[in-house]
């Protein structure tokens, strides 16, 4: 088994970027992480969100030239160095599964940006995050704690902050969801899923093949 170090990172920490040379693998124990790319004109594109239980590799994000930063405080288990030759470790298989899951998320995001309107993009992303966030602290809440700013949601969907704000207001007035004080609450999840054509199977079709994280 590989030995990992539990590390704490404050909000806004750049964990690794396109220039990272050290091989590191992180397993998120708590918190949210954003992967993004900066364009030559200074605008940012958020390419993915990583949450509790997700695994990410500095080698992978360096190849895709992404910057990876924390949103709020984050706790991660860090596996340093080369891991492919470690006897008995399932971490290479876990990384492969994580890359497949990430590819499924990004493919769905591309479909949203290319073919869904602002309402559909926003609703689809929040429904996805609602499943991945796995709210356990408030069992009475049909929703999740979300530390994202509206600008970060917009950067993931190709929308301005003003546009995201308008869509969220429309959803609230329509009795679909509320996003206030860092809490997303689904007021009518089923109706929202129907309206934005949300099929969650892309989030679960691979997870059954993943080895237990305790076996790394």
Is 1.10.10.10 the CATH number for 117-196?
A: yes
Quick: pLDDT tens for 126-159.
999 999 998 767 778 899 999 999 999 999 999 9
Domain coordinates of the chain in residue numbers? 5-88+97-111, 117-196
The tens digit of pLDDT for each residue in 177-201 reads 999 999 999 999 999 999 999 999 9
pLDDT per residue over 93-139, tens digit each?
888 888 899 999 999 999 999 999 999 999 999 999 999 998 767 77
pLDDT score, position 93 = 80
Give pTM, 2 decimals: 0.87
The answer for residues whose C-beta is within 8 angstroms of residue 115's C-beta and 6 or more apart is none
Instruction: For residue 47, give the nearest of 31, 35, 58 by alpha carbon.
Output: 35
Same fold, 5-88+97-111 and 117-196: no
Q: In sequence order, which residues have a C-beta less than 8 Å from that of residue 183 and are 6 or more positions away?
A: 141, 143, 144, 145, 146
Specify the fold of 5-88+97-111: Jelly Rolls (2.60.120)
Residue 68 and residue 167: Cα distance in Å, rounded? 27
User: Within a 10 A sphere around the Cβ of 22, how many other Cβ atoms?
Assistant: 10
35 contacts 15 by C-beta, under 8 angstroms: no
């Amino acid at each position: 088994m590989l030995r990992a170090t539990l590390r704490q990172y404050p909000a806004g920490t750049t964990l690794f970027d396109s220039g990272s040379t050290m091989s590191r693998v992180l397993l998120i124990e708590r918190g949210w992480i954003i992967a993004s790319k900066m364009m030559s004109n200074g605008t940012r594109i958020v390419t993915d969100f990583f949450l509790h239980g997700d695994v990410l590799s500095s080698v992978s994000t360096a190849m895709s030239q992404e910057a990876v930063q924390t949103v709020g405080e984050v706790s991660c288990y860090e596996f340093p160095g080369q891991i492919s030759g470690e006897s008995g470790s399932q971490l290479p298989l876990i990384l492969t599964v994580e890359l497949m899951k990430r590819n499924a998320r990004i493919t769905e995001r591309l479909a949203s940006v290319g073919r869904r309107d602002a309402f559909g993009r926003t609703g689809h992303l929040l429904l996805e995050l609602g499943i991945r966030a796995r709210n356990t602290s408030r069992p009475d809440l049909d929703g999740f704690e979300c530390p994202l700013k509206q600008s970060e949601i917009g950067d993931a969907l190709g929308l301005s902050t003003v546009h995201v704000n308008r869509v969220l207001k429309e959803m609230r007035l329509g009795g679909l969801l509320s996003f206030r004080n860092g809490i997303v609450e689904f007021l009518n999840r089923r109706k929202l899923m129907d309206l934005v054509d949300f099929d969650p199977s892309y989030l679960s079709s691979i997870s059954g093949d993943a080895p237990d994280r305790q076996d790394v």
